[in-house]
Structure 1
Amino acid sequence: MPDNRVALVTGGSGGIGRAVAERLAADGMAVGVHYAGNKGRADETVAAIGKAGGQAIAVGGDVAEEAEMASAFEAVEVAFGGIDVVVNTAGVMVLGRVAEFSLDDLDRMHRVNIRGTFVVAQQAARRIRDGGAIVNFSTSVTRLAFPEYAGYAASKGAVEAMTMVLAREMRGRDVTVNTVAPGPTATPLFLDGKDQAVIDHLAAQPPLERLGAPEDIAETVALLAGPGRWVNGQVLFANGGIA
């Protein structure tokens, strides 16, 4: 395993992605901070990593477009010499009951969450150095089955399926492939559109009696990206015991 390990974090400009990027940088990895549309936020993450003594660059691209993500991977490889860890936090969430759900919203969500994850995983499988780690993202809602989450949970169920298969396809490379499935986590993606009563109800569900923080999820990723080498082909539910 190289001493100068390098990570690429998709969706690394905010929320869980930023926490992951900063956590991996704290572990000594050089980090490619990917963004889709907000370069300013990615630059802020890069600056924060640099201020803490780490190395990072911002790389843009639509996760669902092969050419754009190939360019993002190449930019990280040119800057730091290779890629050892790929963390795919990029995703979108649209809620609604099945009977009324917009199929346009379904297509948009599945384009990012399924096709986007596949494109990133494909690039990772081709490029990641031996001894590396691929970490995808699902959601605890695949098991909790909250109303209005059907489309989102379906997209993340697909991520879990491709993770299991890819872990087996990487045989002989000493590369682990896992998925992290957060529970309710205090990010803009989760909090947007929810009133305080709903937030308080969800925060009371885990035995630890709080929402997760992005840093909680980043710790789980750091385990899978670093010392957790015997965890492979798994879905880790990081949700404080809610399920």
Structure 2
Amino acid sequence: MNNEKVALIFGGARGIGAAIAARLAREGYRIAVTWVSRPDRAETLVTSVKNAGGQALAIRADSADPAAIQSAVDATLHHYGRLDIAVVNAGVLRLGRIEDFQLDDLDATLAVNVRGVFLSVQAAVKRMTDGGRIITIGSNTAVRTGHAGSSVYAMSKAAVAAMVQNLALDLASRRITINNIQPGPIATDMTAAMVEQITAQIPLQRIGQPEEIASLATWLASEESGYMTGASLTIDGGFVL
């Protein structure tokens, strides 16, 4: 069991982040999750973990705000006294063709999906136990063609993949590994209205489940993954378009 280890999940109140948090809690990790717009989801998750005998903490933190990111790390350390795992799941999806794409949407995407990822990793590793784990949640759009209007989102996720590959070199001396999960279409609030359309583009003929991403994240958080770092792992049912 991992009952001494602490995992902080940025963007952990719902969807993939919540599935990762719940799975890590079942594996014995003490968890902290950040939320920005759904306190009810965060509290439901925390209550569920506690009712099952685990430890959980919800922290309001906008990943577009550097001070909030730092505060989330500080709150986790204050509550638990250590930090072993950081999962950077927070992200935004702004779509639009280049002729119409708004500067505010470009700035918002980069602020959360690129700058927010870098700052979350930076804040976490400064306080992380040597031998810890960093896991980012990217997207298969970094390596697959998505659809018209997704260029800015894809760009941001490709940036995360490149960042992870190189941050692995910065962190190797402390035996901290960093890896990037690149999910394809997953059954979340974001995809609820498009399941049939999306499924037609997936060779396995089904949409992925958040728990499948959580399973991979749990392995990356474990001691068993200690020789993997700087990798981007695509999990998308063979998505093609």
Q: Same fold (TM over 0.5)?
A: yes
Alignment of 1:12-31 (within 5 A): 12-31=12-31
2:219 to 213, 219, 223: 223
8 Å CA contact retained: 1:33, 1:45 = no
**Structure 1 runs not aligned, ≥5 long:** none
Is residue 200 of structure 1 aligned with residue 196 of structure 2? yes
Aligned to 1:43: 43
- Calculate the TM-score normalised by the size of structure 2: 0.93
Shift of the alpha carbon at 1:182? Answer: 0.2
Q: Which residue identity is paired with 1:223?
A: W
Number of residues of Structure 1 aligned to a counterpart in Structure 2:
237
1:212-236 deviations in Å (ceiling 9; x for gaps):
0111111111111112222110000
8 Å CA contact retained: 1:179, 1:235 = yes
8 Å CA contact retained: 1:64, 1:117 = no
Cα separation, 1, equivalents of 2:105 and 2:68: 23
Alignment of 1:80-159 (within 5 A): 80-146=80-146, 147-159=148-160
Q: Which residue identity is paired with 2:62?
A: D
Cα separation, 2, equivalents of 1:189 and 1:201: 13
8 Å CA contact retained: 2:142, 2:155 = yes
Shift of the alpha carbon at 1:5? Answer: 0.7
Aligned to 2:170: 169
Moved more, 60-69 or 132-141: 60-69
Shift of the alpha carbon at 1:3? Answer: 5.7
The percent identity for this pair of structures is 38
Moved more, 136-145 or 18-27: 136-145
Q: Which residue identity is paired with 1:156?
A: K
Cα separation, 2, equivalents of 1:6 and 1:218: 16
Cα separation, 1, equivalents of 2:47 and 2:126: 29
Cα separation, 1, equivalents of 2:131 and 2:117: 21
Aligned to 1:233: 230
Shift of the alpha carbon at 1:143? Answer: 1.9
Q: Which residue identity is paired with 1:242?
A: F
SS at match of 1:105: helix
1:178-203 deviations in Å (ceiling 9; x for gaps):
10000011111233xx45xxx32321
Cα separation, 2, equivalents of 1:242 and 1:88: 23
Moved more, 174-183 or 102-111: 102-111
Aligned to 1:70: 70
8 Å CA contact retained: 2:142, 2:161 = no
Cα separation, 2, equivalents of 1:232 and 1:212: 24
8 Å CA contact retained: 1:64, 1:119 = no
SS at match of 2:20: helix
1:210 to 163, 183, 206: 206
Cα separation, 2, equivalents of 1:33 and 1:125: 17
Cα separation, 1, equivalents of 2:39 and 2:133: 26
1:15-35 deviations in Å (ceiling 9; x for gaps):
111001001101100000111
Q: Which residue identity is paired with 1:228?
A: S
8 Å CA contact retained: 1:65, 1:119 = no
Aligned to 1:179: 180
SS at match of 1:171: helix
- Calculate the TM-score normalised by the size of structure 1: 0.92
Cα separation, 2, equivalents of 1:3 and 1:20: 16
Cα separation, 1, equivalents of 2:117 and 2:26: 25
